[in-house]
A and B are shown apart, each in its own frame.
Chain A
Amino acid sequence: MSRIILWRHAPTPSNEGGVVQGRVDTPLDAAGVARAQWAARRIADRFIARDWPELRIYSSPLLRAVQTARALTERLGGTVIIDDAFTQRSYGEWEGLTWDEVRRDWPEQWAQRERGVDPDVPGWDGQDAVAARVLAGLERIWDQDSPAVVVSHGSPITLGLLAAIGEPASSLALGRVPHAACASVRKVESGAWHIEAFGIGAD
Chain B
Amino acid sequence: MTRVFIVRHGETEWNARGLLQGSSEVPLAPAGREQARQMASALAGLVSPDAVLVSSPLSRAHETGLALGSVLGKPVAVDERLRERAYGPWEGITPEAREQGWPQQVRDWHEGGNPHLDGFEVHEVVAARMVESIEEWATRAPGDLVVFSHGSSARIGMMGLLGLSLGHRTLGNLGNTCWSRLRRRPDGRWTLERHNVWVDVLYPGVGE
Contacts and interface: CB of A to CB of B under 8 A. Distances in A.
Given A198-B195, A200-B196, A192 B170 contact: yes
Q: How large is the interface on A (under 10, 10 to 19, 20 to 34, 35 or more residues)?
A: 20 to 34
Contacts of A42: 201, 204
B191 A189 contact: no
A160 B78 CA distance: 38
A203 B200 CA distance: 12
B128 interface: no
A117 interface: no
A193 B201 contact: no
A175 B201 contact: no
A166 B170 contact: yes
Contacts, number: 78
A203 to B, nearest CB: 6
Interface stretch (B7-15, B20-28, B66-74, B159-167): B159-167
Contacts of B180: 198
A30 interface: no
A175 B192 CA distance: 6
A203 B180 CA distance: 12
B197 A193 contact: no
A194 B193 contact: no
B191 A172 contact: yes
Interface in B111-169: 111-112, 162-165, 168-169
Interface string A178-203: 00000100001110111111111111
B192 A173 contact: yes
Mostly, the B contact residues are mixed
A200 B168 contact: no
B44 to A, nearest CB: 13
Nearest to A161: B170
B170 A198 contact: no
Nearest to B181: A199
Interface residues of B, number: 30
A29 interface: no
B46 A46 contact: no
A183 B197 CA distance: 10
Interface in A64-106: none
A180 to B, nearest CB: 12
Interface stretch (B49-57, B97-105, B182-190): B182-190
A174 interface: yes
Contact of B197 (A172, A190, A194, A200): A200
A198 B46 contact: no
Nearest to A203: B46
Interface of B: 46, 110-112, 162-165, 168-172, 180-181, 183, 185, 189-197, 200-202, 204
Interface of A: 41-42, 46, 165-167, 171-175, 183, 188-190, 192-203
27 contacts: A42-B204, A46-B201, A165-B170, A166-B170, A173-B164, A173-B191, A175-B183, A183-B195, A188-B169, A189-B111, A192-B168, A192-B170, A194-B169, A194-B170, A194-B172, A195-B171, A195-B172, A196-B195, A197-B196, A198-B192, A198-B195, A199-B181, A199-B193, A200-B196, A200-B201, A202-B194, A203-B46
Given A42-B201, A190-B110, A198-B196, 17 more contacts: A41-B204, A42-B204, A172-B191, A173-B163, A173-B192, A174-B192, A190-B112, A192-B112, A192-B168, A194-B172, A195-B170, A195-B172, A197-B172, A197-B195, A199-B194, A200-B197, A203-B46
